[in-house]
């Protein structure tokens, strides 16, 4: 961390350092930089796009891959399935939400409403084998307003 950094970004870094320490990580600039990207851009990102944001930080893609996987295992990141070839992740904070994804340009928007609990109950009621639903994922795929104009 540079001394000249603004106060709020310093506080943010300290919070991220806390996240790493609480999960038993050694605090490295690479890990901090990766977490910074996720806390700054609140959209699902794959290793390549993280790498794009870290161009000047000299963190190689292989390290990013490994780090993302490890962060997922610790529950710092959660995996989001956007039906593309690469695995996307986002911060695993308490903010439960889903995503709208543009099939044409890949733009992503959060969907904050979730009516799945009701549906989960119906699914369980009709299930022969299952006792409990502990999580769900749901993403919507469509066309954004910008792409729809063309």
Q: Which of 102, 120, 133, 139 binds Zn ion (CB under 5 A)?
A: 102
CB 96 within 8 A of CB 109: no
When asked if residue 100 is in the footprint of Zn ion (CB under 5 A), the reply is no
Q: Which of 27, 32, 100, 116 binds Zn ion (CB under 5 A)?
A: 116
Is 105 one of the binding residues for Zn ion (CB under 5 A)? yes
**3-class SS letters over 60-119:** CHHHHHHHHHHHHHHCCEEEECCCCCCCEEEECCCCCCEEEEECCCCCEEEECCCCHHHH
Q: Min. distance of Cβ 40 from Zn ion in angstroms?
A: 13
Query: In the window 13-72, what residues touch Zn ion (CB under 5 A)?
Result: none
* Cβ atoms < 10 Å from Cβ of 101: 22
Contact residues for Zn ion (CB under 5 A)?
A: 90, 102, 104-105, 107, 114, 116, 144, 147
């Amino acid at each position: 961390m540079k001394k000249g950094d603004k106060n709020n970004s310093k506080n943010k870094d300290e919070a991220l350092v806390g996240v790493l320490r609480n999960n038993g990580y050694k605090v490295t600039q690479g890990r901090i930089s990766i977490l910074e990207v996720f806390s700054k851009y609140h959209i699902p990102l794959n290793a390549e796009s993280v790498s794009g944001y870290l161009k000047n930080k000299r963190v190689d893609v292989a390290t990013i891959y490994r780090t993302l996987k490890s962060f997922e295992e610790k529950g710092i990141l959660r995996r989001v399935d956007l039906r593309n070839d690469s695995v996307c992740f986002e911060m695993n904070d308490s903010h439960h939400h889903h995503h709208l994804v543009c099939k044409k340009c890949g733009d992503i928007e959060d969907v904050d409403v979730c009516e799945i609990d009701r549906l989960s109950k119906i699914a369980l009621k009709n299930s022969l084998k299952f006792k409990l639903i502990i999580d769900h994922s749901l993403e919507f795929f469509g066309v954004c307003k910008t792409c729809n104009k063309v």
